[in-house]
Amino acid sequence: MDAATGADLAGPALPVVTGPAVRALGWSGSTLVVVQYEAETDLPSFFDETGATETRHVRVLGLQSGAEPQVLLDPPGMSPPSTSRSS
């Protein structure tokens, strides 16, 4: 896509990545680096697909033409923040 006009441009055919949201971080050489979001289950249709409470997990992927997505970062699961306070 042309950033100035929004018109389609020729470019590399990249692998398809699915999820409630996939956001591009930028290019590293010929690799497009993206964040793939995985939503929590049973959320209402009006949720923020990248919100902290709605997101179950994220992965950072590298996408190259003619190749499978490469996992660059797959952090361990996170527990909800503790609400108890020490005395």
Tens digit of pLDDT for each residue in 60-82? 999 999 999 999 998 886 544 33
| pLDDT value of position 1 | 76
Coil, helix or strand at residue 85: coil
Q: What is the token pair recorded at 80?
A: 């909800």
**Is there a domain that residue 83 lies in?**
no
**Is there a domain that residue 54 lies in?**
yes
Instruction: Give the structural domain span for 32.
Output: 21-73
**Is there a domain that residue 32 lies in?**
yes
**Is there a domain that residue 5 lies in?**
no
**Is there a domain that residue 84 lies in?**
no
Alpha carbons 25 and 23: distance in angstroms, whole number: 6
Q: Tell me the pTM.
A: 0.67
Quote the number of domains for the chain: 1
For residue 54, how far is the Cα from the chain centroid?
13
**Is there a domain that residue 38 lies in?**
yes
Alpha carbons 13 and 61: distance in angstroms, whole number: 16
How many CA atoms are closer than 13 Å to the CA of 21, on its beta-carbon side? 17
